[in-house]
Amino acid sequence: MTAEEPLTIDARKRAAALAALELIQDGMQLGLGTGSTVEHLLGAIAERGLDVAGVPTSEATEAYCRELDLRVLHPSEVESLDLAIDGADELDHALTATKGGGGALLREKVVAAMSERFVVIATTDKLVDRLGHSFPLPIEVVPFAAGPVTRRLRERGYDVQLRTAGEGPAVVTDNGNHLLDARMVGGIEDPAVEELWIAALPGVVECGLFVDLVDHALLADEDGRVLSLEPGVS
């Protein structure tokens, strides 16, 4: 690779993960997110031999932690976590995030909310002016309510699709629920209002809008430089 060639997406994800690694200290209890960027972080934690324990946000993350011999905690075992680190599907300039592309949004939000500090690691292409246009908003619903919730969302102006495994059946989350992917042309005007409106729909378990939860974002660009962002700091 020449100096002029941009890094691959995977290399950029690793750069963001390694930047987050510097926030972790021995003895911490962590929230461990889901996805390929977090996988880089977990591998780096194991390589460095850090003495930490974590609450995984998905069965996939838990399995990888056990493979790496990282200590796993259940949410019932801890009152709060020192730090949670996770990826994001989109992030706006107020550091409101869209999550759930990997289907783990419910557990991810539970873990983020019980953490003293929540850090997002991603690549700079995830930063957008408005959420919900280029990447659909994931919404977890009980299977019984998928149809009624879909109709209400469409009345609201969303283009809604039930997430399926290719041409196969509906995707089932670790919690036994289904996922709706809702796209708003032009993006979501007010994520805080939208989160409350969606949450009030009977049958909705959780939506992928993470409002006022992200404390810090580490975003890697094409050269591997990591942009550090905090809410209200330009």
Residues annotated as catalytic are: 108
Find the helix or strand (DSSP H, E) in which 99 lies: none
101, 108, 117, 121: which is closest to 14 by C-alpha?
121
Find the helix or strand (DSSP H, E) in which 137 lies: strand 137-141
Q: How many CA within 13 A on the CB side of residue 149?
A: 28
CA 222 to chain centre: 21
Token readout for 15 is: 């750069």
Q: Scan for tokens 């780096």, then name that residue.
A: 44
Q: DSSP class of residue 143?
A: G
107, 197, 128: which is closest to 158 by C-alpha?
197
Sheet hosting strand 204-207, strand order edge to edge: 159-162, 178-183, 137-141, 204-207
* Beta carbons within 8 Å of 10's beta carbon, 6+ residues apart: 36
Confirm if 113 and 230 have CB atoms less than 8 A apart.
Answer: no
Instruction: Determine the length of the chain.
Output: 234
Distance CA 214, CA 231 (A): 8
